[in-house]
Chains A and B, each alone.
Chain A
Amino acid sequence: MPTPELNRRTFLKGAGVAAVAATGPTIIVKTARAKSDTLKIGQWTHFVPAFDEWFDKKYCPEWGAKNGVKVVVDHISVNDLRARAAAEVGAKKGHDLFGFLDPPPAYEETVIPLNDVVTECESKYGKLVNLAQRATYNPKSKTYYACSDNWVPDPLHWRIDMWGEVGMKPDTWEHVREGSRKIKEKINAPAGFGLAQELDTNMMLRGLLWSFGAQEQDETSTKVMINSKQAVDAVKLMSAIFKESETAEVFTWDPSSNNRFFVSGKGHIIQNAISAIRTAEKQVPDLAKKMALAPPAAGPVRRMGSEHLLHCYVVWKFAENPEMAKKFLVDLVGAYNDAFVASEFYNFPSFTKSVTDLKGKLAADKVDPERYLFLADAERWSAYPGYPGHTTAAIDECFNTFVIPNLFARAAKGEQSAEDSAKQAEAEMKRIFTKWIK
């Protein structure tokens, strides 16, 4: 009954060899012979409607006209991206380019390796940032299964006036703890670090772990390392912050909640992509003047946050127009000067030189020329799930089943001690790792 199987390792090895051979000397063909005359792209509905306007109504039609293709863009809600991807793979039919908002290592077997695309982009538009490289590359098969065009930093958002009341700034995690406690005592405004099963929590807590020198896995991406003294210390710190300066609402949140929390004026600090402050600038401009951004807080070992989102495209194996798809990718990276501004700085370039004069653009912001300047260095303090290893399918499943948020939530609620919670998280991660790593 068991069919002679393609041993996964040999398959991947074969694919890797083929990919290297194919990319070898040839870089992308400049004039592609289109298999069909349509290029279908599927990606998320950007939170900045203006970006989708730019992309759908300006960039794609112009690119299409130049290359003799009709470009069709379909938008999918961020929550439904993975479900749609699964369906397209199940149907073996779908878009040519599919944009994920977090790296999809599990899909490696059904996508075309994009090593040639990455190489060409690097030759033209600068190196691929480390966090994107680690998150879209499989070192075992030496394949780029996705090509990232942009990523989103995750800075602190804080209230200058409220922190001014206690004469502090959120520089290190100890400052955050102490300042938050004082602010809560003095003016009863809570902090907004989520402890729920959702994206923002997933990212923020990873940053906290890394700042303490803890990590999910080792560099080889095979060993689970979550149960360490540093991780336990990080858990204890967050439990303290929760007890001293947060309310139980942080267990109820979804990605939009901390935005609302901050924009309503209730809270004094959150960690989120700049969508929060952009919303504030539009809805409550007077209050927004009292808000500021800052790099993630520093821990005893380092200052590190996670990328909030990593946007990357895959080209399905069953894509009908793969050559055009690859060309589109390269050209899109080249157009990032426009994309960056159209997205109101949400889309940070993954290829370092694809946006020229980043700092100048940040300083030219129409609302506040100083607020976004520090983001020019964002790459230095941003990492990715799975750091310092790679983002593997195992890490991806841990991410999507909220192992880290629950690790912290159980301890903060007092259901388990920090040590026991770490042990449980370790057991869960090991169980998941054995499923994927054979």
Chain B
Amino acid sequence: MRRGRERSLLDREGFLGPVMILPAVLYVVALVGFPFFLSLYLAVSDAKIASATSHFVGLANFESALQSPTFRRALVNTFLFTLISQALVLVLGKILATCLLQDFYGKSALRFLILLPWVAPISLGTIGWKWMLDSLYSPVNWVLQATHIIGKNDWPMWFGERGLAMASVIGVHVWRLLPFSTVIILAGLTSIPKEVREAADVDGAGFWSRELHIVLPLLRPILTVAGLFGIIFAFTDMTVIYVLTRGGPADGTQVLASLAFFTGILGGDLAGGAAISLFLFPILLIVAILMLRVARRTEVT
């Protein structure tokens, strides 16, 4: 009987699959296809911001970039910034999501507060942090001084020293994205069928055992995708750095995305900026393909 029904068009996987995925693919490709490949071409050309013509120059832009100590520093900073902030976001997000799964008094209000950083417009929220960590007016420093953790003349210059500046931009980035990862993980946790969790309880599994052996594997597709997106986003985002430190002090927080902007858009060397933006493209490409494959292959029975 099943075989008969499968012949109906709406049952056939071979038909349904492509039909369901094609609209999304066509939309994105039609819109972004040309710009995508043009951007790739820019990186291997000698185009300037207003040039009428451009030529293929192979890897010359990449070579030129590597010669610059600024670029090398930006490369290192990019990895630091991305990996540390993503690790924090995922770990803290998991903790928070697990907590929010429980019921407790005042949960709604607390959850509302937790959501705020993510929904604040990026440009405005970051401008707010500019003041929060300002060298003169910082309320953070004021509180630290008022609680006698630091002295009057020991105010940390949050954007003025390499280590602190990096910590600040990572901190603000994590602050912004923590609610996002929490929501995703929370939704994932909620989707885990109750009976699966209950079955584990009946079997006598302890809290940690249940987390590690049941919950995490079930979350893997979602965590992988969210994590991958977070990593790519952190590699290519520059808003926090641009607003807070402009890449300073002395290129201490310069990352590839911000350097590319300064070089390409502000400095006019469009091809050079493109090369810097896309320097990690091959690596990210491979990482993305692998992780997406993993996410898709995970099966739940």
Q: Do A and B bind each other?
A: yes
Q: Which residues of A contact B (CB under 8 A)?
A: 1-3, 5-6, 8, 11, 82-83, 86, 89, 104-111, 195-198, 247-254, 257, 260-261, 264, 266, 393, 396-397, 399-402, 406, 409-410, 413, 415, 424, 428, 431-432, 435-436
B272 CB to nearest chain A CB (Å): 7
B268 within 8 A of A: yes
Instruction: Give complex CA distance A409, B252 in Å.
Output: 11
B180 lies within 8 A of chain A by Cβ = no
- Contact: B268 with A11, CB < 8 Å? no
Interface positions of B from 82 to 137, Cβ below 8 Å from A: 130, 134-137
Cα–Cα, bound, A414→B165 (Å): 18
B residues 35-57 touching A (CB-CB < 8 Å) = 48-53, 55-56
Known: A106-B48, A251-B248, A410-B250. A431 touches B268 (CB 8 A): no
Q: With A260-B137, A435-B272 as given contacts, are A251 and B157 in contact (CB-CB < 8 Å)?
A: yes
Q: Tell me the residues in window 19-74 of chain B with beta carbons closer than 8 Å to chain A beta carbons.
A: 48-53, 55-56, 64, 67-70
Cβ A435 vs Cβ B64 within 8 A: yes
Given A106-B269, A397-B267, A402-B247, 13 other A-B contacts at CB below 8 A?
A3-B53, A82-B266, A106-B50, A106-B267, A197-B248, A198-B248, A249-B160, A252-B165, A254-B246, A397-B269, A401-B266, A409-B249, A435-B269
Q: Could you name 21 residue pairs across A and B whose Cβ atoms are closer than 8 Å? A: A2-B56, A5-B53, A6-B53, A86-B265, A106-B267, A109-B51, A110-B50, A111-B50, A195-B249, A197-B249, A248-B161, A252-B157, A254-B246, A257-B135, A261-B136, A396-B268, A400-B263, A400-B268, A401-B266, A406-B251, A410-B250
* Chain B residue contacts of A8, Cβ below 8 A: 51
Contact B50 A401 (CB under 8 A): no
Determine if A260 and B136 form an interchain contact, defined as CB atoms under 8 angstroms apart: yes
Of A5, A89, A248, A401, most buried by chain B (CB within 10 Å of CB) is A401
User: Are A252 and B159 neighbours in the complex by a CB distance under 8 Å?
Assistant: yes
A249 lies within 8 A of B157 (CB): yes
Nearest CB of chain B from residue A12's CB, rounded to whole Å: 10
A415 partner residues in chain B, CB cutoff 8 A? 250
Identity of the chain A residue whose Cβ is nearest the Cβ of B251 in the assembled complex: A406
Interface string of B234-259 (1 = CB under 8 A from A): 00000000000111111100000001
Contact B136 A197 (CB under 8 A): no
- The size of the chain B interface, using a CB distance under 8 A, is 41
Using CB atoms, name the residue of chain B closest to A250: B160
**When the two chains form their complex, are residues A253 and B68 in contact, meaning their CB atoms are under 8 A apart?**
no
Q: Which residue of A lies closest to B158 (CB)?
A: A252
Q: Is B142 an interface residue (CB 8 A)?
A: no
Complex CA gap A88/B173 in Å reads 30
A252 to B52, CA, bound (A): 39
- Residues of A near B137 (CB, < 8 A) are 260, 264
* B136 engages A393 (CB within 8 Å): no
| Least CB separation from B38: chain A residue | A90
In the A-B complex, list the 10 residue pairs whose CB atoms are closest, starting with the nearest: A106-B268, A249-B135, A252-B159, A397-B267, A251-B249, A400-B266, A251-B160, A252-B160, A197-B248, A110-B50
A254: nearest residue on chain B (CB-CB)?
A: B246
SS of B interface (majority) = loop
Q: Which residues of B contact A264 (CB under 8 A)?
A: 136-137
Q: Give the docked Cα–Cα distance between A397 and B161 (Å).
A: 25
Chain A residues contacting B246 (CB-CB under 8 Å) are 196-198, 254, 402
Q: Scan B140-177; emit 1 where CB is below 8 A from any A CB, else 0.
A: 00000000000000000111110001000000000000
A13 to chain B, nearest CB (A): 14
In the bound complex, what is the Cα–Cα distance between A432 and B273 (angstroms)? Answer: 12
Give the distance to chain A from B240, nearest Cβ to Cβ, in Å.
14
Chain B nearest CB, measured from A314 CB (Å): 10
> What separation, in Å, do the CA atoms of A86 and B269 have in the docked complex?
11
Q: Does B79 contact A (CB under 8 A)?
A: no
A432 to B248, CA, bound (A): 20
B-chain residues with CB within 8 Å of residue A413 when the two chains form the complex: 249-250
Give Cα distance in the complex from A399 to B157, angstroms: 25
Q: Provided the pairs A250-B160, A252-B245 are in contact, do residues A89 and B49 lie with their beta carbons within 8 angstroms?
A: yes
Whether B135 pairs with A409 at a CB distance below 8 angstroms is: no
In the docked arrangement, what's the CA distance between A154 and B249, Å? 23
> Does B279 interact with chain A (Cβ within 8 Å)?
no
Q: How far, in whole Å, are A436 and B165 apart by their CA atoms in the complex?
A: 33
The residue that A252 contacts in the complex, of B64, B67, B248, B268, with Cβ under 8 A, is B248
Q: Which residues in B have their C-beta under 8 angstroms from that of A1?
A: 56
Please, how many angstroms separate the alpha-carbon atoms of A197 and B252 in the complex?
10
Bound Cα distance A250, B135 (Å): 9
* Nearest CB of chain A from residue B267's CB, rounded to whole Å: 4
Closest B residue to A264 by beta carbon equals B136
Closest partner residue, chain B, to A266 (CB atom): B136
Q: Indicate if the CB atoms of A400 and B249 lie closer than 8 Å.
A: no
From known contacts A107-B50, A266-B136, A431-B68, infer whether A400 and B160 are also in contact, taking CB-CB under 8 Å. Answer: no
A424 proximity list for chain B (CB < 8 A): 69
Q: Indicate if the CB atoms of A106 and B262 lie closer than 8 Å.
A: no
On chain A, the residues within 8 Å of B265 by CB distance are 82-83, 86
Asked whether B248 lies within 8 Å of A196 as measured between CB atoms, the reply is: yes
- Give chain A nearest CB distance to B277 CB in angstroms: 14
User: Beyond A401-B70, A431-B64, is A253–B53 a contact (Cβ under 8 Å)?
Assistant: no
What residue in chain B is nearest A83 (Cβ atoms)? B265
**Contact residue among B49, B56, B266 (Cβ-Cβ distance under 8 Å from A107):** B49
A396 touches B267 (CB 8 A): yes
Contacts of A399 in B (CB 8 A): 267
Separation of A424 and B52 alpha carbons in the complex (Å):
33
Q: Which residues of B contact A106 (CB under 8 A)?
A: 48-50, 267-269
Whose C-beta in chain B lies nearest to the C-beta of A396?
B268
**Chain A proximity of B262: nearest CB distance (Å):** 5
Closest to A434 in B: B64
A86–B49 contact, CB under 8 A?
yes
Nearest A residue to B135 by beta-carbon distance?
A249
Chain A nearest Cβ from B177, distance in angstroms:
23
| A424, B157: Cα distance in complex, Å | 26
Min distance, Cβ B218 to any Cβ of chain A, angstroms: 43
Set of chain B residues within 8 Å of A196, measured between Cβ atoms = 246, 248-249
| CB <8 Å contact, A252 and B50 | no
- How far is it, in angstroms, between the C-alpha of A5 and the C-alpha of B157 when the chains are bound? 51
What's the Cα separation between A402 and B247 when bound, in Å?
10
Which residues of A are found within 8 Å of B52, using beta-carbon distances? 6, 11, 109-110
**B residues 250-300 in Cβ contact with A at 8 Å:** 250-251, 259, 262-263, 265-270, 272
Report if A2-B55 is in contact (Cβ < 8 Å); known contacts: A108-B50, A248-B160.
Answer: yes
Query: Which of B64, B135, B247, B263 counts the most chain A CB atoms within 10 A?
Result: B135
